[in-house]
Each structure stands twice: as structure tokens, then as C-alpha cells.
Structure 1
Amino acid sequence: MQDRSLPPLARLAAGLTLGTLGGVAFHALSLPLPWMLGPLFLTMVAAVAGFPVAGPARMRPAIVAVIGVLLGSRFSPEVLGQAGEAAVTLAILLAYLLAVGAVVVPFYRFAGRQDWTTAYFAGMPGGLSEMIEFGEARGANVAAIVLAHSLRIVVTIALMAFLFRVVLGHDVGAAASSASGPPLGIIDAAILMASAVLGAALGTWARFPAPSFLGPLLLSALAHMTGLTAGAPPTVLIIAAQVALGTILGCRFLGIRPVMLWKAGLLSLGSTLLTLALALVAGLAMRAWAGVGLDQALLALAPGGLTEMGLIALAIHADVAFVALHHVARILVVIVLAPILARVLPPQD
């Protein structure tokens, strides 16, 4: 039973300790994305079991800003020459999103026995906070939406890591190992720090989705594409950010009963497999019509979080800029279209 008498700081220490142990264990076992999946797995088990754990949720903006700067460091001047390719792949992305909505929403409605509104906002591949806000405004079951999107990210990360490591043979180890670059000088460090701080402020001011992530990514990308710096955040900082992020994701399941999690997990597994099947079809179209590698296309289309898919792209040396662009486009398209298309839903049961 969860001991709610523990002070918040003690629960945070317990969560981060378990998260670190999970990362060390996964790293020792050479499992994929050890510093994120290890903490996520161990803290999720502890949270569902009722142990008093907590993640550094208030630090999430700073954590994702570090990862945003890291992914931005993988942008190069050649990215500007990919506009023609992007026009084709973004059109394929739009068709893919419409197909996902047409398949996954009915899956949640009939297989999950949810009302149409809840099924719609649970099945749309958008951001968690936006889907909760839209769904709550229309009277949906908020708890079901939270579980659907939280588990979608977890299941997608696990399946994609397994696919690239076991099936395709990529070395999906610690993404931080891919962050090595030239020695980080004082000027480089100052530029990266400014990208994180000013980028987060810019993202908030411009009302970006995931502002603390996209703002730093944008400024870091501009700094690297213009040759202002070639540096990247140090490895130890990236590992710490992944451990903290995995711990936050795992502790999100605190208070969820095992039976509820089991049922929601089966639904999420089914919906994610359906979505990945559609992503495979769209990825093959990208390969045929735009010459994009299938592994890169799958990462750009997979229904996981932008941050997490970016880390996998970094680990397998895929084009991070391509992956990030398509996830940003996915989030924006769903945010814009979801409320509009929701107007044609059948009335609540």
C-alpha cells in the first residue's frame, strides 16, 4: 500500500534512486535505450505496486530543454536543401494521420467499449495535454485518455527499441554515446546554454506545442546550421536527462490499479500495432516516392513522443532533423484538425 506519509522530497529521492538503478541494470544487460527505458520500467512497476515514488516533474521543462539542444545539435546546413523531399513526405504524413484516425478511433470505440468522444481523443495521435484538454471540454472520460496516451508512448518506445535492436540489428544503446563531438569550450557551452534558456522562453512566447523542447531545439538547430557552434551537451548531462525523463514517465502510473492498467495496456498494444502497421505502409511510400530510408521513415511516423523518437534516431544515427520535422508536423496537424473533426462525432451514448 502506498505510504502517503512520506514527504515529497523523500518520494522524489526514492523515484530517482530506482530510476538510476533501472538505468544501470539495463545498461549492464546491454538493453536498448537503457538510460530511459530502465528508469521507466522500474519506476512504473514500483508506481503500480503502490510504492511512494515520484519523478522530478517540475524539472521536466529543463530536462527536455537539454534533450532539445542535443537533438538540435544534429541539424546541419544540408537540412535546408531537403525542402523538396519534405513536401512529398509531409503529404504522406497527412494521409497517414487520416488513416490512423479512421482505424484507431473505431478500435477504441468497439474493442475498448468507450463512447465515441473518449475513443476519438484516446485514438488521435496528438500530444497528451492537448488531447486531455479537448476531450475534457467535450465531456470525455479523462482517465481513459490519460492512460491511452501514456501507454501509447511507453509501448511505442519499447516496440521501436526492440525493432531496431533485435529485428534490424541497430545498436540502440545509450543515445548519449551518439552525442560525442568536439571538446566543449566556454563559448560553445554559453551558446548551448543560451539555446536552452532563450529557446524555452521563445517557445512559451510563441505558444509552441512542447515549448520547452521545441524552442531550445529550434535555436540549437539554427546555431549549428549557421556554423556558430559544433558542440553538444556533455554525455553525463544527457544520461542524467534520460534517467529523469524515464522516471517521470514511469511515475505517471502512480495510483493506477493493476487490473485497469492490464486492460488499458492490451488496448494500447492493439492500437499501437495497428498504427505501426499503417506507419509501415506510409514508410514504404516515403521510400518509394522520396527515397527515404525505411528505418528513418518509421521513426518519423511512429506514434511515440517527439523527444523519445528523437533519442532513438540519435542512437541509430538517423536524420534527427527529418524525424523531428515530421513529429512537429504531426502534433500541429492533430491539434488543428482534432477539434474540427470532433464536431462530426455521434452524440454521447
Structure 2
Amino acid sequence: MSPFLRIVFGLIIGVAGGALFHWLALPLPWMLGALFATMAAAVGGLPVKGPKRLRPATVAVIGVLLGSRFTPDVLVGAGQWGMTLAIMLVYLAVVGMIVVPFYRHLGRFDWTTAYFAGMPGGLNEMVEIGEARGARVEQVILAQSLRIVTVIAMIAVWFRMVQGAQISGAARAGAEWPDYADLALMLAAAVFGSLMGRKLRFPAPTFLGPLILSGALHLGGVTESAPPGLVVNTAQVILGTVLGCRFAGIGAAALGRAGVLSMGATILALALALAGGLAMQAATGVGMEQALLALAPGGLTEMGLVALAIQADAAFVVLHHVIRILAVIVAAPLLHRLLSRDDPPAA
């Protein structure tokens, strides 16, 4: 099967998975349904391939959507963010001190691989830096990918099943298509934001650039529109399909072992996130839902979508995840250089 047909096949499976999850009224159906359906297909050996070239456009749409939540109202609570960001930085340090030894001793990873597998940073950045430092790339990819998948699933299920929140695929997206002027503004934010992000070498440039420009437009009162639900749901199917197809070529046994380790590491990280969320709530009065989402070590894009879906303060959540990724990108290589020692690969 040609690469193009494999991509089409993957998208068909992704749409089917999203439709099934939507029919079952499961949380974040279009993203999680596509993700789990294509992951099962990839691990099962079906010829699926993620539309990676569409991912920049997809995350640009999500960036514009999340930027639309940066309304003038969010500035009212901005004074509290210094304290919550400080709590988050302490949380990141504690996560690293607990999860890295977890992978080193229970997972029996070598030191460098355990370090970059356990750091709660961006997947691409941890893989790139880890490979340059001699980590076993396939183990880092599995650990970081499964962390994101596990956090998304556990957070979505928690809010839906335990909190009783309604988590839909296009929550807070535009109910109707905006007029032509607003569509042009959002398209400009997506295109020029992506170019700006790449020019300035942002992490996740095609996400952060559109988010910043969209946020500026909405903070300035230039527009109040958001991308319509159909566009957002399509973007989520593509995003879920890309994530799911990332597991192609991984055997069921290797995935099962990595999944058990990821579940353990994720439970530890989420328990610490819950403690950090309680600290945020006590110190600033911020809502527990958005505090937990701000700390949960899932993907920046995905946690922002969950925040939108439960109508939490998406601007608060996104800002904390941006700082999380930047802090880990800057600190992780420096700390690794300081802490590294001659450590033979684990058996």
C-alpha cells in the first residue's frame, strides 16, 4: 500500500474511532477515539500512517482556538499567576526527582534514558535532546508518548466520570461559522503566527505562534470569534490519528511493558499534580479543575482542549504548560550535564 493510501486508511480508522466515541458519549471523543483506534490498528500491524504533514495546520487551528480564550476578562486574575507558576516549578522539580528514579530502578533503564523518559517536558524536545546525549531513543519515545496518552485518558475520564463534567469535542468552539472578516483574521493568525513561531524558534512553533497572535487579537477586542466546531473536530481527528500511528512497528509485548511503566509514572505525577493543585487553591483560590489541568503532564495542546471542554480558564492552563515546557527545555540539559556520571546501561 502506498504511503498516501496508508494515510487515507489511517484517517478513515481515526474518523471511525472518533464517531464511535462520540456515539458512546465518551470524553473528548474525536481526539481520543481517533487516537485509540489508530493506536490499536498500528500495534495490530495494519498499514496505517499518520498525516504528519497536516499536523502543523492542525495544531495551528487549536492554537487559534485557545488564543480566543485570552479575553480582557482573563487579566483580572493575572495577578495570581506568579504564585501558581512558582508552585508549578516546584512541582516539576519534585516530579523529576521521583519519576526519573522510577524509570531507572523499576524500569531498569540506563541513567540517561531514564532521565529523558521521566522529564515532564515536550515529547519532541526530550527525544531530540535525549538522542544527542546518548539515550535509547525508542524507550524515550515510548515513555513520553504513553505519558501524554495516559494523562489525556485519565484526566478526561476523571472529569467525566468522577467530576461529572461534560467533556465534548468542540466545547467553546464557535457554534456557527464566523463572518468573512473574522475568518480572515483567524486564518492570518494561523499562517503568520506559524511563520513567526518558526522564525523565532519557539518550541511547538506552529502552535504557540498562532496562539500568541490569536490571543493578541482577542485581548485587543479586534475579534471575539473562534474556529467553528466542524474545523476543531476535524483538527482533533487528525491530531489523534497522528498520535495513534506513532505506535506503528511496536510489538504488543513491548507496548504492554512500557504501558505498565507509564501507568505507574503517570499515577505518581498526577498524585503530585493533585497536591500542587491543592497548594494553588490554598494560596490563590484558583479552581481545582484548572489547577490540576495546569499541572497535569499531558500535551500542551491536549490539556488546553480539555480545559476548553470543561469550560475552565484555558488561558491559565495554556500559560502554565508553555512555561512548563520552556523550563524543562532549558533546565533538563543543564541538570543532566551536572548529574551525569559513568553509568553503564541497565540490564
Q: TM-score normalised by the shorter chain: which range applies?
A: over 0.9
Q: Paired residue for 1:299?
A: 293
Q: Distance in 2 between matches of 1:331 and 1:311?
A: 17
1:181–1:230 contact (8 Å) kept in structure 2: no
Q: Distance in 1 between matches of 2:78 and 2:286?
A: 13
2:69–2:314 contact (8 Å) kept in structure 1: yes
Q: Distance in 2 between matches of 1:44 and 1:330?
A: 27
Q: Paired residue for 1:317?
A: 311
Matched, 1:49 2:41: no
1:270-309 pair list within 5 angstroms: 270-309=264-303
Q: Distance in 2 between matches of 1:340 and 1:109?
A: 19
State the one-letter code of the partner of 2:230: V
% identity of equivalent residues: 60
Q: Give the match's secondary structure for 1:254.
A: coil
Q: Give the match's secondary structure for 1:228.
A: coil
State the one-letter code of the partner of 2:193: G
Q: Distance in 2 between matches of 1:317 and 1:112?
A: 37
C-alpha deviation, 1:158, in angstroms: 0.4
1:182–1:230 contact (8 Å) kept in structure 2: no
Q: Distance in 1 between matches of 2:78 and 2:222?
A: 22
Q: Paired residue for 1:146?
A: 141
Q: 2:262 aligns with which of 268, 276, 279?
A: 268
Q: Distance in 1 between matches of 2:299 and 2:177?
A: 30
Q: Paired residue for 1:28?
A: 23
Q: 2:208 aligns with which of 195, 209, 214?
A: 214
Which runs of 4 or more aligned residues in structure 1 lie more than 4 Å from their structure 2 counterparts after TM superposition?
none
2:277–2:295 contact (8 Å) kept in structure 1: yes
1:221-260 pair list within 5 angstroms: 221-260=215-254
1:45-84 pair list within 5 angstroms: 45-84=40-79
Cα RMSD, aligned residues only: 1.0
C-alpha deviation, 1:133, in angstroms: 1.6
Matched, 1:157 2:152: yes
Q: Which runs of 5+ in 1 are unaligned?
A: 1-5
Matched, 1:17 2:24: no
Q: Paired residue for 1:125?
A: 120
Q: Distance in 2 between matches of 1:132 and 1:40?
A: 20
Residues 193-231 of structure 1 show CA distances to partners (whole Å, capped at 9, x for unaligned) of 000000001111111110000000110011011110011
Q: Distance in 1 between matches of 2:112 and 2:102?
A: 13
State the one-letter code of the partner of 2:261: L
Matched, 1:95 2:81: no
Q: Distance in 2 between matches of 1:201 and 1:79?
A: 26
C-alpha deviation, 1:136, in angstroms: 1.2
C-alpha deviation, 1:325, in angstroms: 0.3
C-alpha deviation, 1:63, in angstroms: 0.5
Residues 168-206 of structure 1 show CA distances to partners (whole Å, capped at 9, x for unaligned) of 1100122x1421357511110110000000000111111
1:192-207 pair list within 5 angstroms: 192-207=186-201
1:109–1:119 contact (8 Å) kept in structure 2: yes
State the one-letter code of the partner of 2:211: L
The size of the alignment, in residue pairs, is: 343
1:101–1:123 contact (8 Å) kept in structure 2: yes
Q: Which runs of 5+ in 2 are unaligned?
A: none
1:182–1:231 contact (8 Å) kept in structure 2: no
State the one-letter code of the partner of 1:178: R
2:176–2:228 contact (8 Å) kept in structure 1: no
